[in-house]
Amino acid sequence: MNIVMMGPPGAGKGTQAKYISERFVIPHISTGDMLREEMSAQSDLGKKVEEVIKSGKLVDDSLMIEIVKVRLSRPDVEKGFVLDGYPRTLSQAESLNELLRFLGKDVKYAVYVEVPKDVIIERLSSRRVCPKCGHIYNLISNPPKADGLCDVCHVPLVTREDDKPDVVKRRYDVYYEMTFPVIEYYRKRNVLFTIDGTLAVEKVKDMLLNILGDDN
């Protein structure tokens, strides 16, 4: 059961990927985790990543696919995996396809958690964080007990730079522009499953189980 999870920032795909991972006992593989693991293992690849990140650059496609290759060659992916945050571009999707073919695997489900831009903006811009303990609140779905104050630390909550409407709008547009060709790529290969990410988390889980359920 090889799964690719896609969705704009704030769509909740990380939460859903974690759920699939636990439900089907397959590893949840995120881009950030792969990079951190290689760096902390101080492998040759990890050292390269560290160098790139230290110099303030982004990890490029050819280095990234090397890291994905190492990760997907481990024995724990035998039953499957959930890839979260990769591929994000068409060229990454093509490299991944080539790699999987080499490994004798393929992507069976490409799940796209679809949430319209205005909903993402509303979701993220109502997010507040405590500057002291880092706890995240949501003024709509998970508000603090006292208006604007952390329940524990009683200090005023703040909006993170990444959650400001202008920044959210830009991140969404960048994501969509880069990833739309990936969505089309998987649609053409008949493995795309689109899920309405505006629904409640439990409902989204049910829909995922409907899609993946017969496989296990």
For residue 152, the minimal CB distance to Zn ion (Å) is 5
Residue in 47, 79, 101, 160 annotated catalytic: 160
Catalytic site residue from 23, 164, 169, 171? 171
**Site for Zn ion contains 192 (CB under 5 A):** no
* Catalytic residue (one of 18, 23, 48, 88): 88
Which of 41, 53, 133, 140 is the binder for Zn ion (CB under 5 A)?
A: 133
- Using rule CB under 5 A, residue 132 touches Zn ion: yes
81 exposed, middle or buried (CB, 10 Å; 0-12, 13-18, 19+)?
buried
| 160 binding Zn ion? (CB under 5 A) | no
The yes-or-no answer on residue 160 being catalytic is: yes
Kindly tell me which of 135 and 171 has the beta carbon lying closer to Zn ion.
135
170 among known catalytic residues: no
Q: Is residue 130 near Zn ion by the rule CB under 5 A?
A: yes
Q: Is 150 in the site for Zn ion (CB under 5 A)?
A: yes
CB of 157 to Zn ion, least distance (A): 8
**Catalytic residue numbers, as ranges:** 13, 88, 127, 160, 171
Binding region for Zn ion (CB under 5 A) = 130, 132-133, 150, 152-153
